Each structure stands twice: as structure tokens, then as C-alpha cells.
Structure 1
Amino acid sequence: MSRPCNLHVLSELSPSARADLLKRTESDLTPFIEKVVPIIEAVRLEGDRALARYARELDKAAVPVDAIQASEAEFDAAFKAVEPEVIRAIEYAVGNIRRFHEEQKPEPMWLKEIRPGAFAGDRWHPIPSVALYVPRGKGAFPSVTMMTSVPAVVAGVPEVSILTPPTPEGTADAATLVAARIAGVSTVYKTGGAQAVAAAAYGTETVRKAVKILGPGSPWVVAAKRLLAGVIDPGTPAGPSESIVFADETADGRMAALDLLIEAEHGPDSSAYLVTHVAAVAEAAMAALPGWWARMPELRVGFSQTVLRGPHGGIVLTGSLEESYAFVNDYAPEHLEVLSTDPFRHLGRFTNAAEVLMGPHTPITFGNFVLGPNCVLPTSGWARTFGPLAVTDFMKRSSVGYVTEPAYAELAHHAGVLARYEGFSAHANAVSEIRDGLLAEMKERGR
């Protein structure tokens, strides 16, 4: 009888085979970049006409050039179309997300005395504009709308817009519109894919040009962001979903299998692993998968089976806890779930993970929807250097310095030494006896 998913026994893998497990579907964007170039150029030259054409050709949706932006009537209709229970859940989630990001928001300015009479600090401002990408290809994602919109509003960004692929009917997804309005965003454009990134970068007759674009997307979106990085800030590198469920000897293998499917069901380009050093946990998880699939619709079963039986998913059986820790850190997952009755025992060993959800009562589902921390996370190993989307991603920081008269001489001496050593004469002159004379004249005039 064949296994329901891959079983990778780490000790039996060659170094190259182990390295293959760390790859993601977007590791090589070359074929996407080649196809994205003409799309970007068309949007740059044709504006709304290109967006309408690509909606027709790629999204199979009729979106006239004068209807690219969602109207107030569409927003109102969305609230009638979405079930009241779903609206209440969105309101609940927005409340938690807002509270988290308000706590995360830095003070407008701080200033500390670095030396007696010499002060330095930071000053924070919102960026002037941002475009938020909300995917729709494999389902509706009001969660992404909430996770991107709320911190933008909390940060105080003056111009916030959402880009999302149109439905076959030529409208925006109803739940996305509901989430946008509840979060405080009223501008939604019905365009997706590489053409949406290009529209945000260059602007069109309808779409306002933005200085930054944030939000997860397909390899097409990631490729467009990479190509347009010199035109628009591409923000956190967020691509197809990925996760690791780490399980120790206290974990229930059936629960591990249940949670392994969370990110695997996003789409065939997702990546998902259960990592454990306990053979019994691996066996129990393997045995439980068919039963959990029986409770899922065919579409999501197909997605998750493609992932768990393909090159980017399955169960990784390690030889020890140390090997499990090492694999997780090498992988640097977007989502890391720690299944253990004592998850804090392991927390300090994980250094590369964008999100760590701990214990049997904290499934990835909570992080994706309602807990509060942002679910827009770096993928493809970028968790080594990037963190989750945060309110500070919608802000810019300026350094502030202020030196008083009594503190000036000491700083001037040391700065002058370094300036002369590095050969910068203007730097040195600015803190030399020349300035001393000018300061003395100012002081004399002020008497």
C-alpha cells in the first residue's frame, strides 16, 4: 500500500537531496520573469486599457476601463452578499489585529542623552502611499485584506489602496470589500497579477501610483515586484504559502497531520513539512491523513496532496531533536507551529522562523486569521533576514541629533581626528577653529 504522503528519512538523504527539501516553488523565477516583462511594459504604455485587456485575457473577467475601481455601490452590495456571521468574524479579527499593531507602533520620537549635552534619537513618519496586494486566484482572502490594511491605517498612511484580481463577474471579492471598509480602506482596484504591480509602480488613469507595494502573491506577482524594485519598494518578499509543523515526543501525530494540511491546502505551489524525531508521531500522522482528507472538499484535497506528495512537502523524520532544530533553521519557514506540551522548551532553539505558534491550542489557523500578529510573512527562506509585516513597514524613520554648547568641543575634537584620518577636509574644517570663531561671533551678537 502506497503512503499518503512523502516520508523523508533525513539520515538516508544525500546532502544534495537534503538541500532539495529546502527549495520552494519560486526558487527559480526565470520563466515567470520572461513572461512578466511584456505585461509590465504594456501597463506602463497603455495604462487602464492594458488592465482591462488582461482582466479579460488572464482573469476571464469583463472589467471596463471606467470600472477598474470598485464603486461605493459595490461596497454596499458586498455587505448584503456576505453572511452576517462572516462579517462579525471579520470585525472580531480586525479588532485583535488593530490592538496588536497599535501596541507595535513606535513613539513618534525619542531622544536620549548619549553624552552629557549631546542628544540623539529617532523620529517616525508614515510613508505617503502604499498599494496592498490581495490575491484571489485560489480563493477569497479577506484575511490578507485585514492583515495589510489595518497596520497601514494604524501607521497613518494618507493614501492606501488595495489591488485584487476581479471575479469572473467583473467585481471585487465581496468579503475583501467588507474587510477593507471595516479596516478603514475605501480604494480597491480590480486588477491582479503582474499587471497590478505595474499599475501600482507607474500609475494609470485610474490606479494611483504608490511608493510601496505589500502583500503576498503568486510567482507572477513576485517576479513583477523583483523587476520593478527600482520603481516601487517591493516590501516583504511574500510568495506562496509554506509551513513547518515541528512535533516532539509529547505531540499527537493525528493533530500534527491535521495542522500539516493548513498551509498545504492553499495551493499546489505551497510547501509544507511535518518535522519530528519521533517515528511513532510520524506514523500516526501518516495514518491520520486519509481521514482528514475525507473531511475536506475535493479542491483542497487536490492542492494538499499535490504538495505533500511532491518535491516541497511531506514528513521529515530526523534522528534527534538537534537535527530537527537544524532542519527548521535551515529551512527558515514562513509559519512554524511547535506541537509540544512544553513549547517554551524549544522556542530558544529556533532562530529562523517568521512566525512561531506554540502549543496544541495555537494552530496556524489562529495566526492566519484572528490572533493579532501579522500573517503576511517572508517566504522562500527570507525569514533569515526579514520579519513579519509590521506597522513599521508603513512608516519611515529619521535620525535626530542635537548637541548643546557645553558638549560641542568634545565631539568636535574626536570627529575632527576621524575626518582628517579619512582625508575629508570639509568635514574637518566644519569642526575646526573656523567654526569656533563663527560660534564666538554668534554668541557675541546674541548678547
Structure 2
Amino acid sequence: MQQPSFHDLSQDSALPVELFKRTEADLSFFVEKVKPIIEAVRTEGDAALKRFARDFDKVTAEDMSVRAEESEFEAAFARMDPAVIESIKYAAENIFAFHEAQKPEEMWLKEMRPGAFAGDRHVPIDSVACYVPRGKGSFPSVLLMTTIPAVVAGVPRAVVITPPGPDGKVDDATLVAARLVGIKEVYKCGGAQGVAAVAYGTESVPKCLKIVGPGSPWVVAAKRQLSNLIDPGVPAGPSESLILADATAKGELAALDLLIESEHGPDSSAYLVTNSRAVAEAAIAALPKLWAQIDPKRAEFSQAVLCGDHGGIVLTKDFDTAVEFVNEYAPEHLEILAEEPMAVMTRIRNAGEILLGNFTPVTLGNFVLGPNAVLPTNAAAKTNGPLSVFDYMKRISVGYVTRSGYPQLAEKAHGFAVYEGFSAHALAVSPLRMKIIDGE
């Protein structure tokens, strides 16, 4: 069995740049490959989607419908384990509650000066496509995370796109989750072709204003290529996590939680970052035993990550350096295993989410806790936050000036207009305005 990668930085004053690289950092290969796929969808529509379903998703069904039919939803409910349906309902309740609390008031106005009011009005965007991946499994949790904020925000048309299985169907759990949330439109198109479908629209798939949700480098590359046609949303690529541990942490627990995101696939990234050699060595010793307890394919994925160039154990010279590593890495998921995790949290500037203490593994955040688990990757957490209700809404500035409040603002604005050389601006707040209003 391979040994986990061990990066001993205990004597180093500088952090190696190569440790901050992700698998999605260079998308040049994918950008070139997605171009003909995008063009085919643009020119051929549904016919291209069906052809790519056969070529990429190995669909063998003779006549696959691009849109999931009502009978498919009904069959999915009939086949699903009731216990799984209850888990989906439980998660949906928490996710709804979190995003309802997050939703901003429809409008606010503040009196900036006597008789002069300004504020914001929040309105939902008209349409959004929620991408639910399928390549390495079935992800009803992603459907919940991407669609529930849209429903809470009041988006008039929220649709789901997801790759079909070999039978030309959407997986049962995704259909069940969609129906429980209130989503009626589910389309069978994944990868770059799915992104192109909602960017251009096809005979079956509606053109949408925005696309949200995590995906492979193919999806990320297509979003970038089509960003002039569709808002690509929060940058969400392959999974990544950091476990930040001080000397009080249990190394075996840190190792256990390292498995969570590393099992997503070999393109994931996952590190334990600690200033304690004892914690690092305990984690390294525990990993082989933990790999033996999970599905062999998932263990293979995890080993590829933790024994490769994008994962493993990082030992720093002190805890300050460990915190510095986290802030520079800007992880999608961050767990803090420390004696005082709340105090450590105040030192973290860059992370998609922060999960505190021994009882808050990434698993809970991914599925049932409530906050959104679609998070910025590839260091985008330095400037972006998690998917939220705000991503499905836009702000419209509102201004209202009364007659009594107008004169003072007009005088000051007139000064700006004259200085900047805008004569029409100046004329609009000159005495002419009052003459027109008063009919003089």
C-alpha cells in the first residue's frame, strides 16, 4: 500500500508554492476539447445532446427523452428506500431553514439627508440551471443545495441538468429530491454539453441566465468558455479540504476526516495541516487501517489524493505557520480540530466553510447541517463565498428625493457635473428643472 505524502516544513520559513496548486489550475487542455462540443450543441440542439449521451454517458436506450418525464418521477418514488426519502426530507428542512434565515428583506430605504432616501430592492433572477453531477456517484445532496436557495429566492424558472445513466434515465434519488423541493424540470445533459444547452437553449432545454453547481474540469472549462452568454456562478470545481489541527487533536480523528473529500476522486485535494509531529505521525499510521474500512474504489480515490501531489500531511514549524498555510490555500472545506476552535476561527480569513470541533465533520456540512455545501474552489474563497440565496437574487438600487430634500443635493451635484464637464448633467439640476416642474 502506498504511503501518504508527508511534507515536513518544520524547519522551513517559506511555504512551498507547489502545495497550493489544484488539479483544475490549468484548464487549457479542457478548454480546447470543449469547443467542438459547445459548437455542436449550438448548431444541432437536442440531436447533439442525445449523441453525446451515447458517446460520453454510454446511454444505450434507443430513444432517450431529453427531459425527465412524469412517469420517471413516479417510478423513482416507487423504487426508493423510504429511509433514504426521509433523510432527503430531513436535510431539505434544514437547508430550507438556513436559507430562509439568510434571505434579505425585499427592500430597505434610509434617509441619507432630510427628504432624500436611498436603498436596495432585492428581486430574484428570472432563470437558473442547477448542475447535479453524476460521474462518480449519485448526488441528491447537490440538488438540494443548488435548488433550495433558488426556491427560497423565488426564481420563476429553476431547472436541473444532470448526466443520464446508461439506461437513459436520471438516478432515482435526484428525481425524488427534485420533486420534494418543488422542481419540475429535470434535463438529461451533463458535462460541457449540458452547460452549452442552458447557455444557448435547445428544442427541449430552456436557455437560462445563470448556472450553478459543482462539476468536473470539463464543466468548469465550458462555464468559462460560455461566460459571455451565461453567468457561471460560484467557481466550484473538484473537491478540496484542509484539516487544521493543533497539538491537542487526535491524529486518528484527523485522518478519518481526511478521507471525506479525498474519496470524491483522484482530482480532489486534501491536507492535514498541523504543527504537531505526534498528530501528523498518528494520522499517517491510521490511514491504512481506515482505507481498509471503506469501499475499495473510494479507498483508491483517497489514496490517489493523499499519496499524490495534491494531498497528504503538512507539518509546520508552529501553529501560526499552519494558520498562514490555511489562509494562503483558501480551502473549499476547512475543519478545525483544536483546543479552542472558536478562537482559531477568528484567525481564518480565507475558506469556503469552517467546521468547528470534533463533532462537525465535513460529512454533516455536505448533507444535513443547513449551510450551503456548494463552495468556492481553487483558492476562489479569497474573493468568493458559498452558494447562497444572494446568488439567485439581484440588488436594484432605489432612490427617492422629495421636493424639500432636492435643493441641497442639486447644488452639490451641479458642482460635480460642471467639474467633470457633463453639461447635460448640470442642466438637469439647474433652475430649469424647477421651472419645468412648476409649469413656469
Question: Normalising by structure 1, what TM-score?
Answer: 0.96
- Aligned 8 A contact 1:116 1:407 in 2: yes
Tell me the equivalent position of 2:272: 274
Contact 1:261 1:304 in 2 (8 A): yes
Indicate how the Cα distance of structure 1 residues 416 and 65 shifts in structure 2: closer, same or farther if over 3 A, else same: farther
What is the Cα deviation at residue 281 of structure 1? 0.6
Determine if contact 1:134/1:164 at 8 Å carries over to the other structure.
Answer: yes
1:415 is matched with which residue? Answer: 413
1:336-361 deviation line (CA, Å, top 9, x unaligned): 01112321110111000010010111
Q: Deviations over 1:44-101 (max 9, x none)?
A: 0000000000000011013566611111111111112221111000000000000000
Q: Which residue of 1 aligns with 2:17?
A: 19
- Distance in 2 between the 1:313 and 1:391 partners? 32
Which residue pairs with 1:342 in the alignment? 340
Structure 1 residues 227 and 63, CA, compared in 2 at 3 Å: closer, same or farther?
A: farther
Q: CA deviation at 1:437?
A: 2.0
CA displacement at 1:383 relative to structure 2 = 0.3
| Residue of structure 2 equivalent to 1:10 | 9
Shift of 1:420: 1.0
Q: State the Cα distance separating 1:11 from its structure 2 match.
A: 4.5
Secondary structure (helix, strand or coil) at the match of 2:386 reads coil
Q: Using the alignment, how far apart are the partners of 1:260 and 1:72 within structure 2?
A: 40
Work out which of the residue numbers 277, 282, 285 in structure 2 matches 1:284: 282
The residue identity in structure 2 corresponding to 1:422 is E
Residue 249 of structure 1, CA deviation: 1.6
How do residues 11-410 of structure 1 correspond to structure 2 at under 5 angstroms?
A: 11=10, 18-62=16-60, 67-410=65-408
- Aligned residue type for 2:179: R
| Cα distance in 2 between the residues matched to 1:78 and 1:225 | 30
Q: How many residues align?
A: 440
| Alpha-carbon spacing, 1:193–1:86, altered in 2? closer, same or farther (3 Å) | same
Q: Which residue identity is paired with 1:109?
A: M
8 Å Cα contact 1:90/1:179 also seen in 2: yes
Q: Offset of 1:22 from its aligned partner? A: 0.4
- Which digits, 9 at most, give the CA deviation of each residue in 1:205-260, with x for residues without a partner? 00011010000000000000000000111111100000001111221111000001
Q: CA deviation at 1:196?
A: 0.1
The answer to whether the 8 Å contact 2:130/2:161 transfers is yes
8 A Cα contact 1:3 1:286, kept in partner: no
Distance 1:171 1:226, change over 3 A: same
Shift of 1:435: 1.2
Q: Is the 8 A contact 2:50 2:64 kept in 1?
A: no
The answer (yes or no) to whether the contact 1:252–1:281 under 8 Å persists in 2 is yes
Question: How far apart are the structure 2 equivalents of 1:18 and 1:325?
Answer: 15
Structure 2: how far apart are the matches of 1:12 and 1:27? Answer: 28
CA offsets per residue over residues 425-447 of structure 1, 9 Å max, x none? Answer: 11111111211322333xx8xxx
Sequence identity (%) = 61
Long gaps (5+) in structure 2: none
Of 223-232 and 56-65, the range deviating more from structure 2: 56-65
1:150-182 deviation line (CA, Å, top 9, x unaligned): 111111111111010111111001111111111
Between the aligned partners of 1:226 and 1:350, the Cα distance in structure 2 is 29
* C-alpha contact (below 8 Å) 2:12/2:317 kept by paired residues: no
Query: RMSD between aligned alpha carbons?
Result: 1.4
Q: 2:61, 2:166 within 8 Å by CA — same for their partners in 1?
A: no
Structure 1 range deviating more: 431-440 or 369-378:
431-440
Partners of 1:33 and 1:227 within 8 A in 2: yes
Tell me which stretches of 4 or more aligned residues in structure 1 moved more than 6 Å. none
Counterparts of 2:83 and 2:307, CA distance in 1 = 36
Deviation track 1:377-415 (CA, whole Å, cap 9, x = no partner) reads 010000011100001111111000001111111111111
Stretch deviating more after TM superposition (187-196 or 57-66): 57-66
Q: Secondary structure at the match of 2:349?
A: coil
Q: Name 1:432's counterpart in structure 2.
A: 430
Q: Secondary structure at the match of 1:415?
A: helix
CA contact (8 A) 1:113 1:120 kept: yes
TM-score (norm 2): 0.98
Residues of 2 paired with 1:338 and 1:14: CA distance? 23
